[in-house]
């Protein structure tokens, strides 16, 4: 198998058009998010190649633009290794280190960034030949997960953040206020409509620190409403909604 680093540019372009969940990728990320405490020396993310062939992996962090490329990244973090060959059925550890410029982030609330991992498969071969076919389409798969930089100066417990959300109703609108310095990710808000439970958040919602969002209600029944939060470990926890 031969890898060409020029394929990285191809991979970046293709990854914007070819998106897949980890269940369809050869490279599996062991985690759905990365938490970086500001007082940590480094954090790690484990990758595994569940395929039968080696893959070339490229990783970088961006500020929120899904179209960004590694050369455009200006975030104050270093990933080692930024490019790695992961053999079939083997693992690779990515080590993420904050640079001194990270001290410029807001010390009173979390900052959210995005970690990208592109899986670039090797060139195909024909009948064991070393060279790839003259015409072939090489697809790269990009996984993109949230990266939270959490200041050590925050003394509140992130585990209590979902319980601190403040809910109120204004006509056909449900208002939710996040009074905490943490990002709170909601995957579902359940409301009763007739004899069924409907989801008001089919696309999910991430509440920024100290922010308020509006969600459209689908019925006048606001009793027994609940929401599901994703915690630091990727677990889904359900909470009851208490209207103020």
Which CATH number is 107's domain given? 2.60.40.10
Separation of alpha carbons 192 and 207, rounded Å: 23
Whether 119 maps to a domain, the answer reads yes
Whether 2 maps to a domain, the answer reads no
Whether 1 maps to a domain, the answer reads no
- 96, 116, 150 - which closes a domain: 150
Whether 205 maps to a domain, the answer reads yes
- 104, 133, 150 - which closes a domain: 150
Residue 212 has φ and ψ, to the nearest 5°, of -130, 135
* Judgement on whether residues 97 and 166 belong to the same structural domain of the protein: no
Residues forming a β-bridge with 57? 84, 119
* Judgement on whether residues 131 and 213 belong to the same structural domain of the protein: no
Which pLDDT does position 102 carry in this prediction? 97
* Judgement on whether residues 18 and 127 belong to the same structural domain of the protein: yes
Residues forming a β-bridge with 169? 174
pTM of the model: 0.84
Which pLDDT does position 6 carry in this prediction? 39
Which pLDDT does position 83 carry in this prediction? 96
Which pLDDT does position 1 carry in this prediction? 43
* Judgement on whether residues 115 and 18 belong to the same structural domain of the protein: yes
Strands 205-207, 211-216: pairing is unpaired
* Judgement on whether residues 144 and 176 belong to the same structural domain of the protein: no
**Residue 97, CA distances (Å) to 27, 70, 138 in order:** 22, 16, 32
* Judgement on whether residues 87 and 15 belong to the same structural domain of the protein: yes
- 95, 129, 150 - which closes a domain: 150
**Residue 177, CA distances (Å) to 23, 163, 208 in order:** 34, 11, 9
Full residue range of the structural domain in which residue 23 is found: 7-150
Whether 59 maps to a domain, the answer reads yes
Residue ranges in the chain modelled with pLDDT below 70: 1-25, 124-138
Whether 26 maps to a domain, the answer reads yes
Which pLDDT does position 122 carry in this prediction? 74
Pull the structure tokens for residue 175. Answer: 């208002």
* Judgement on whether residues 106 and 164 belong to the same structural domain of the protein: no
* Judgement on whether residues 191 and 230 belong to the same structural domain of the protein: yes
Which pLDDT does position 11 carry in this prediction? 40
Q: Please state the domain count of the chain.
A: 2
Which pLDDT does position 152 carry in this prediction? 96
């Amino acid at each position: 198998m031969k890898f060409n680093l020029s394929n990285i540019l191809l991979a970046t372009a293709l990854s914007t058009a070819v998106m897949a969940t980890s269940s369809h990728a050869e490279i599996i990320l062991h985690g759905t998010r990365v938490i970086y405490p500001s007082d940590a020396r480094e954090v790690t993310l484990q990758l595994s190649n569940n395929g039968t062939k080696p893959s070339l992996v490229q990783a970088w962090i961006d500020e929120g633009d899904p179209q960004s490329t590694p050369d455009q990244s200006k975030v104050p973090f270093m990933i080692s290794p930024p490019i790695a060959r992961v053999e079939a059925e083997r693992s690779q550890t990515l080590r993420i280190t904050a640079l001194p410029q990270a001290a410029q982030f807001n010390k009173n609330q979390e900052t959210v960034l995005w970690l990208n991992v592109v899986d670039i498969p090797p060139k195909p071969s024909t009948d064991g030949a070393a060279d790839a076919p003259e015409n072939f389409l090489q697809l790269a798969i990009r996984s993109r997960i949230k990266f939270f930089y959490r200041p050590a100066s925050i003394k509140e417990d992130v585990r209590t953040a979902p319980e601190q959300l403040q809910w109120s109703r204004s006509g056909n609108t449900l208002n939710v206020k996040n009074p905490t310095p943490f990002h709170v990710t909601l995957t579902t808000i359940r409301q009763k409509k007739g004899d069924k439970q409907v989801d008001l958040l089919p696309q999910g919602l991430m509440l920024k620190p100290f922010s308020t969002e509006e969600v459209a209600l689908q019925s006048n029944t606001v009793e027994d409403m609940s929401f599901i939060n994703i915690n630091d470990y990727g677990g889904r926890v359900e909470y009851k909604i208490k209207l103020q």
